[in-house]
Amino acid sequence: GWGVTPPRHPGAVPTAGALRVTQDPGEVQVTAGDRVALGCQVEVAEPWEKLRIEWMKDGGQEALCATRLEPATPVPPAPCAPRAPHLHLAWQPPRATLSLPRAR
């Protein structure tokens, strides 16, 4: 079977061999109505064409936003819709930031 080695860096996320994603912050607890920004840094050892990225909520029980990114292409206008049209995703390679104007 396949195993996943726990990350050595607290904000690191398990990924494929040539790719490493670091979240900042690794996890955050918020109150309804709070403004939140969740960032991640994508580090690659080889050229890539598409990256599927997903932000989870409730301890990994539900996807808050899931989308595909390309290295030099801007994010589509509503990358998290229809699930969460109120979210804003900024993609400035190698950094992606998901912003929630008011957490729910």
Q: What is the pTM for the complete model shown? A: 0.71
Helix (H) or strand (E) holding 67: strand 62-69
Chain segment 28-72, per-residue pLDDT in tens: 888 888 898 889 998 887 888 888 888 887 777 788 888 888 888
Mean pLDDT over residues 75-96, rounded? 80
DSSP secondary structure code for residue 88 in this structure? E
Q: Indicate the pLDDT class of residue 4, thresholds 50, 70 and 90.
A: very low
pLDDT for the residue numbered 9:
45
> How far apart, in whole angstroms, are the C-alpha atoms of residue 57 and residue 67?
15
Structure tokens, 67: 């989308």
